[in-house]
Structure 1
Amino acid sequence: MTNFSKTLLKSAALAMTAIAVPAIVAAPASAQSRTGIATANYEAAVVRSQAYQTAVTQMKTTYKADIDATNARAAALQTEIQPLVAAYNAAVQQPGANAQTVQPQAQALQAKRTSGQQELARLQQRVTLATSYVQEQVSLQLTAAIQTAMKAKNVDLVISPQATVAREPYVDITDDIVAELNKLVPSASITPPAGWQPGQSQQNAQQQPAAAQPTGR
């Protein structure tokens, strides 16, 4: 059964959107290859960065009303859904019960879950958007942080932990990437510009180099 309280954007654990970083990152070409390989959890590096952690603390205060309203509504929805769960369980336990006979109860339960999740998403919309904005600010420097950490550790190739079968603990350079992110992004704003949408910061960053190039004649 879906627990509405688990769908909340808790103050201690904010939702993450996908980070646009390739699964494998190679260092710039050098005079001699060392074939050193390391692993790194990019999403964990962003979340553990000082800028992100500080932003989470700030959001607990700035968006407290949103968080409290979402938590309160989630608790209420949990109570409201219990009779529907009980009705579904009772229908399932009836002699001769099958998918068709329990369909009304199943549909009522699913409809309540869906509407509840949508309602909670609306209540926490500002927090979700602010979280995405903070994440993008940090993520914009993620590739640079990875490259610097690779150079410092004499690594030629970084792969995600999911792509490995076995490794030694010292092969992981996530902490080194976090340290570089802390230098590159000491702080992040929790207030998105008017009209900002997730992905916009990365698009702007990609467009700026092209706009800076001389047109030539």
Structure 2
Amino acid sequence: MKTLLKPLLAIGVATAAVAPIAAAPAAADTIKGIGVVSLPAVVANSNAFKTAEQQRGTTYKAQIDQAEARRKQIADQLNPLVTKFNTDQKANPKNPALAQQAQTIQQINQSGQQELQQLLAPVALSRAYVTEQIEDKLDQAVKNAASKKGVSLILDPTQGAIIYADGAYNITQDVLNELNTLLPTAQLVPPQGWVPREVREQQAQQQAAQGQQQQQQPATTGR
């Protein structure tokens, strides 16, 4: 089951745009024991995720407003430069000054994007914290739904392994119901010092590698 959770790390903000889950129609000619579930759709349509998305705009309003104001400032700075570049390029495509103009525009844009990411870092961290709480309950939600539906094989269309599946096999709504029961709401603000799971795993790997190096150093020195 843990392998089903890996694609969720990449959903980020995009999960909020996942379409509502359609009800599965009844079908007589289906093979019992097989189910299809879209895990990203379950996450995006969960009560915990949707509530957090609504609350985040209020809790992090200061950061969002600051980032939006800064975004407008960057746009106001870039727009005249882009207009001048387009005008100069149209007048003389071989103008040697165009390269410097393009480089200036690119530098301002890149530094601006980095600044906006820093301003919105608490917002992104909050979304990662909520998503991880949901992922921690998702495995059990799938198991609960599978048990109630008598399903022993579950396929995920988001991984590209399914070309077609009758709607009667869709247990996404069942998994969503179980998830909402297990996790009605999620904590919006991460605790001090919290980092996402993938960062913790990277840190653990680095610490393990450093530990191995430290163990090998005395043996190397004694030779």
- The question of 1:55 aligning with 2:77 is answered no
Using a 3 Å threshold, how does the CA distance of structure 1 residues 145 and 202 change in structure 2: closer, same or farther? farther
**2:115 aligned with 1:119, yes or no?**
yes
In the TM superposition, what is the alpha-carbon distance from 1:117 to its structure 2 partner? 0.9
Q: Say whether 1:39 aligns with 2:36.
A: yes
Secondary structure in structure 2 of the residue aligned to 1:141: helix
Partners of 2:130 and 2:141 in 1: how far apart? 17
Deviation digits for residues 10-30 of structure 1 (CA, Å, limit 9, x no counterpart): xxxx94499xxxxxxxxxxxx
In the alignment, which residue of structure 1 is the partner of 2:195? 197
Deviations 1:58-77 (A, max 9, x none): 22222111111112222222
Matched, 1:167 2:165: yes
Matching residue's letter, 1:194: Q
Matched, 1:141 2:141: no
Residues of 1 paired with 2:94 and 2:117: CA distance?
A: 34
Contact 2:74 2:112 in 1 (8 A): yes
1:74 to 71, 74, 80: 71
Deviation at 1:97, TM superposition (A): 3.6
Count of residue pairs brought into register by the alignment: 174
> Would you say the 8 A contact 1:91–1:97 is kept in 2?
no
**Which amino acid is the alignment partner of residue 75 of structure 1?**
K
CA distance in 2, matches of 1:152, 1:202: 34
Measured in 2, the distance between the counterparts of 1:136 and 1:85 equals 41
State the identity as a percent. 34
Q: 1:88 to 1:176 in 2, by over 3 A?
A: farther
Is 1:178 the counterpart of 2:172? The answer is no
Distance in 1, Cα, partners of 2:94 & 2:168: 56
Provide, for residues 172-204 of structure 1, a one-character-per-residue CA deviation record: whole Å limited to 9, x for no partner. 33222211110111221112111110117986x
Instruction: Give the residue type in structure 2 aligned to 1:132.
Output: A
Residues 69, 62 of structure 1: alpha-carbon distance in 2 compared, 3 angstrom cutoff? same
Which residue identity lines up with residue 117 of structure 2 in the other structure?
Answer: A
2:177 & 2:51 partners in 1: Cα distance? 15
Do the aligned partners of residues 201 and 111 (structure 1) sit closer, same or farther apart at CA in structure 2, a change above 3 Å counting? closer
Task: Map 1:198-217; keep pairs closer than 5 Å.
Answer: 198-199=196-197
Q: Secondary structure at the match of 2:104?
A: helix
Say whether the 8 Å CA contact 2:35–2:155 is kept in structure 1. Answer: yes
Q: Is the 8 A contact 1:38 1:158 kept in 2?
A: yes
Q: Which amino acid aligns with 2:46?
A: S
User: Which structure: greater helix fraction?
Assistant: 2
2:126 aligned partner? 130
Query: What is the letter of the counterpart of residue 140 of structure 2?
Result: A
Aligned residues: CA RMSD: 2.9
Cα distance in 1, alignment partners of residues 131 and 165 from structure 2: 28
Q: How much has 1:123 moved relative to structure 2?
A: 1.2
Larger Rg: 2
Residue deviations 1:127-175, cap 9 Å, x none? 1111111111111111111222223333312223351223333433322
Structure 2: 5+ residue stretches without partners: 1-10, 16-30, 202-223
Q: Distance in 2 between matches of 1:102 and 1:40?
A: 52
Query: How far, CA to CA, are the matches of 1:86 and 1:103 in structure 2?
Result: 15
